[in-house]
């Protein structure tokens, strides 16, 4: 089991994502996508990563994620949150900060994306002298231990930003009324929804949300996953239009190799989308 040390955190700081959270967009190109396969690290990680995901592919995916035990300490949680910030970017999050309201994080895991949204909105409000908004975030996940992790680790520096985490079967219709939420987040979730549940799953998201949806998902085939290259069309058919879309690589690298020295996953193509309710359909 890998451990996080001070040097690992310093390497992430060198990426300067606080200055430019969209640096992965700037550094991506189709050429970079090809060059990654020249790296021995990438080839090594690809083999080990796909082997792990083949286990997922050969199991009932829902039960796999529901039963998987994943305790996590705060240092590792903070490291992963900072590391994932490379490819889970605040695309469209300014709209959430400007509007406030209720947000659902679908497949919240250990709550790291909720924490980043809290930090983003709080910083945005401070910079723009906004004090008359409220934001409430509900994180849903089918793994009860990860819900406990999120409740233990997530915090808010602002009394106007509140949160809660709940265990939920995401393949079933949720108890919330139509358009109960203003916004939704979905990161690394749609990619594991099997084809038989996919349409119902995205229909449920659009049923719950009245304003905007943020998605971050894999964009190339890996075992145990279903990358969707027509998300924009599928959501448009359900009344949500893609206003922004970026494809990036999950790992920063250069000719010397990966910049992140703890080797967890290969450099994978990720798509980020910001969608808003298509008013023309109302």
What per-residue confidence (pLDDT) applies to 174?
A: 85
- Chain centroid to CA 208: 18
Dist CA 111 CA 162 (whole Å): 13
71-80, 90-99, 156-165: least confident range: 71-80
Tens digits of per-residue pLDDT, 125-142? 999 999 999 999 999 998
What per-residue confidence (pLDDT) applies to 6?
A: 85
Of the candidates 102, 60, 103, 75, the residue with the CA atom closest to the CA atom of residue 6: 75
Dist CA 249 CA 269 (whole Å): 5
Cα within 13 Å of Cα(218), Cβ side: 17
Dist CA 114 CA 138 (whole Å): 9
Percent over 70 (pLDDT), the chain? 93
What is the pTM assigned to this prediction? 0.94
Of the candidates 175, 18, 198, the residue with the CA atom closest to the CA atom of residue 104: 175
What per-residue confidence (pLDDT) applies to 255?
A: 84
- Where are any strands of DSSP class E within the chain? 101-106, 135-141, 161-167, 181-187, 209-218, 240-249, 253-254, 257-258, 269-277
What value does the mean pLDDT of the chain take? 91
**Domains present along the chain, CATH in parentheses:** 6-281 (3.40.50.150)
Q: Cα dist. 193→82, 108, 201, 219, 240 in Å?
A: 26, 15, 8, 14, 19
What per-residue confidence (pLDDT) applies to 51?
A: 82
**Confidence grade of residue 85 (pLDDT, cut at 50, 70, 90):** very high
Q: Cα dist. 54→48, 51, 57, 98 in Å?
A: 10, 5, 5, 42
């Amino acid at each position: 089991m890998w451990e996080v040390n001070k040097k690992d955190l310093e390497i992430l700081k060198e990426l300067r994502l606080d200055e430019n959270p969209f640096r992965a967009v700037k550094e991506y190109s189709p050429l970079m996508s090809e060059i990654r396969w020249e790296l021995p690290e990438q080839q090594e990680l690809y083999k080990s990563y796909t082997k792990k995901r083949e286990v997922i592919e050969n199991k009932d995916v829902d039960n796999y994620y529901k039963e998987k035990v994943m305790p996590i300490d705060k240092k590792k949680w903070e490291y992963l949150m900072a590391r994932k910030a490379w490819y889970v970017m605040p695309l469209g999050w300014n709209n959430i900060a400007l509007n406030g309201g209720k947000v659902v994080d679908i497949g919240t895991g250990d709550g790291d994306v909720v924490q980043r949204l809290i930090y983003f909105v709080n910083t945005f409000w401070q910079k723009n002298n906004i004090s008359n908004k409220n934001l409430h975030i509900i994180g849903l996940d089918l793994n009860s231990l990860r819900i406990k992790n999120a409740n233990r680790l997530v915090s808010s520096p602002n009394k106007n930003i509140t949160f809660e985490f709940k265990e939920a079967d995401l393949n079933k219709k949720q108890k919330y009324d139509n358009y109960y939420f203003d916004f939704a987040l979905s990161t690394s979730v749609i990619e594991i929804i099997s084809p038989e549940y996919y349409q119902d799953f995205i229909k449920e998201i659009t049923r719950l949300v009245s304003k905007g949806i943020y998605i971050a998902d894999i964009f190339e085939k890996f075992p145990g996953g279903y990358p969707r290259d027509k998300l924009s069309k599928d959501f448009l058919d359900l009344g949500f239009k893609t206003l922004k879309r970026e494809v990036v690589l999950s790992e920063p690298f250069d000719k010397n190799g990966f910049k992140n020295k703890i080797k967890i996953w290969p450099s994978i193509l990720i798509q980020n989308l910001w969608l808003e309710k298509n008013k023309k359909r109302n």
